[in-house]
C-alpha cells in the first residue's frame, strides 16, 4: 500500500513537471479561464442580479471556478489520457511492475493539483478584481463543490478519453463536448436566460450548471442545491462506470 502511494506521488510529480514544461498547454489551461474571468467580469461590475442585492460578479466568479475545475478535470485529464493511450505510453506502463492503480492515481493526483491551483488563481483574482469572496458559511459548500466537481468531471474525462481515437482530436473533442453546455448553463453570463423551457430543463440535467450552482452557493446565499448535488453524484456514477467499462491500456 505505502509503496503504491509513494509511486503514485512520484508519478503525480512527474505529470506536474511535464504539464508546466509544456508551456503553451499550461498557459492555455490557466490563461483561458482567467481571461474570461477578467473580461466578462469587467462587463458585469456594478450590476446586480435582477430583483436581488446580489452582485453579478458574486455569482459569476464561482461560475468561472466551476469552469476551471471542468477544464482541469475533464478537458485536461480526458485529453491527457487519450494522448497517453494513443502514443502507447499506457501500453508501455503495462510492461512494468508499476501497479495500474498507482499510475492512474498519480494522474488523478496531478489533476487535483492543477484543479486546486486553477481554483486558487481564479478565486484570488475574483477577490482582488471584483471583491468576490466566499461567504463565511460557504466554505463547506466550496469544499464539497471542489471535491465533487473534480471527481465527477475527472471520471467523465476518463470516460470521454475512451472514445477519442487520435491525439490530434483529444483537445477539440473535450472542449467541444462541454463549451456549448457551459454557455447555455450561464457560466459566462450571470443574467443568462430566455432559453425555451425544454432547453432550460435539459440544461438542468447536465452537470455543468449543477457544479456552478453548488459553488455559487458558497459565495451567495441561495436555495440549498439538493438536486445539483444528486445530479453530480449521478454523473459521477455514470462517468466512472463508462470509464471502468471502456478503459483500455492500448489504442
Partner 1 sequence: MTDRAAVQVCDLRMSYGATQVLCGVDFEVDYGEVFCLLGPNGAGKTTTLEILEGFRRPTAGTVRVLGLDPAAQPARLRERAGMVLQECGFPRQARVAELIDLWRTYYPNPRPLADLLEVVELTEARNTQVKRLSVGQRRRLDFALALAGDPDLVFLDEPTTGFDPEARRRCWAAIENLRRLGKTVLLTTHYLDEAERLADRIAILRSGRIELTGTTQEVAVLAGLATRISFTTPAALRCGQIPLPDGIDLAVRGSESVCHSGNPGMTLRLLLDWALQHSLGDLDGLAVTAPSLEDTYLQLTGAGAEPNLSQANGDRP
Binding-site ranges for partner 1 (CB under 8 A): 7, 10, 14, 17-18, 21-22, 83-84, 86-89, 91-92, 94-99
**Smallest gap from residue 214 Cβ to partner 1 (A):** 34
**Smallest gap from residue 93 Cβ to partner 1 (A):** 9
Looking at the Cβ atoms of 131 and 172, the one nearer to partner 1 is 172
Looking at the Cβ atoms of 14 and 45, the one nearer to partner 1 is 14
Rounded to whole angstroms, the Cα distance separating 48 from 53 reads: 6
Looking at the Cβ atoms of 22 and 47, the one nearer to partner 1 is 22
**Smallest gap from residue 14 Cβ to partner 1 (A):** 6
Rounded to whole angstroms, the Cα distance separating 251 from 234 reads: 28
**Smallest gap from residue 158 Cβ to partner 1 (A):** 18
Looking at the Cβ atoms of 80 and 209, the one nearer to partner 1 is 80
Looking at the Cβ atoms of 11 and 217, the one nearer to partner 1 is 11
**Smallest gap from residue 75 Cβ to partner 1 (A):** 17
Amino acid at each position: 500500500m505505502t509503496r503504491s502511494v509513494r509511486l503514485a506521488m512520484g508519478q503525480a510529480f512527474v505529470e506536474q513537471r511535464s504539464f508546466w514544461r509544456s508551456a503553451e498547454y499550461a498557459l492555455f489551461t490557466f490563461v483561458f479561464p482567467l481571461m474570461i474571468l477578467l473580461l466578462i467580469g469587467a462587463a458585469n461590475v456594478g450590476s446586480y442580479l435582477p430583483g436581488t442585492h446580489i452582485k453579478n460578479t458574486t455569482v459569476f466568479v464561482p461560475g468561472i471556478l466551476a469552469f476551471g475545475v471542468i477544464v482541469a478535470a475533464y478537458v485536461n485529464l480526458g485529453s491527457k489520457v487519450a494522448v497517453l493511450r494513443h502514443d502507447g505510453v499506457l501500453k508501455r506502463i503495462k510492461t512494468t511492475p508499476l501497479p495500474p492503480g498507482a499510475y492512474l492515481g498519480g494522474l488523478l493526483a496531478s489533476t487535483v493539483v492543477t484543479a486546486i491551483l486553477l481554483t486558487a488563481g481564479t478565486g484570488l483574482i475574483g477577490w482582488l478584481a471584483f471583491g468576490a469572496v466566499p461567504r463565511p458559511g460557504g466554505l463547506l459548500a466550496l469544499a464539497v463543490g471542489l471535491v465533487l466537481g473534480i471527481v465527477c468531471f475527472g471520471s467523465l474525462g476518463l470516460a470521454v478519453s475512451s472514445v477519442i481515437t487520435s491525439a490530434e482530436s483529444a483537445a477539440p473533442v473535450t472542449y467541444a463536448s462541454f463549451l456549448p453546455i457551459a454557455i447555455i448553463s450561464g457560466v459566462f453570463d450571470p443574467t443568462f436566460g430566455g432559453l425555451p423551457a425544454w432547453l432550460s430543463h435539459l440544461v438542468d440535467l447536465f452537470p455543468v450548471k449543477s457544479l456552478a450552482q453548488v459553488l455559487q452557493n458558497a459565495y451567495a446565499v441561495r436555495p440549498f442545491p439538493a438536486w445539483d448535488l444528486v445530479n453530480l453524484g449521478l454523473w459521477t456514477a455514470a462517468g466512472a462506470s463508462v470509464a471502468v467499462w471502456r478503459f483500455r491500456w492500448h489504442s
